[in-house]
Amino acid sequence: QGFEYFAPIYAGDRIRFESRIVDFIQRRQGRLKFLIEETEAWNQHQVLTTRFRKTIVIRDPETER
């Protein structure tokens, strides 16, 4: 996970989140796949306040047979 902070968030702010998939990694013979998701948080003034990334690990049940 990674976090970047651009502007403070105050009590009473209205925050809008936008998420997107930025990468998908699949190894040829591995059982795991990796999904990289990035989320941005914008305040009511359309100012970017925060960006964070997370990695989601997915087990492929087909490779376990």
Cα distance between residue 60 and residue 31, in whole Å: 5
Cα distance between residue 42 and residue 48, in whole Å: 4
CA distances 62 to 40, 56, 59, Å, are: 34, 18, 9
Please name the CATH architecture into which domain 2-64 falls.
Answer: Roll (3.10)
Q: What is the pLDDT of residues 4-24, one digit of tens each?
A: 999 999 999 999 999 999 999
Q: Over the chain, what is the mean pLDDT?
A: 92
Cα distance between residue 19 and residue 50, in whole Å: 12
Q: What is the pLDDT of residues 54-63, one digit of tens each?
A: 999 988 777 6
Q: What is the pLDDT of residues 37-50, one digit of tens each?
A: 999 999 999 999 99
The pTM score is: 0.78
CA distances 33 to 23, 36, 38, 39, Å, are: 11, 10, 17, 20
The reported pLDDT for the residue numbered 26 is 87
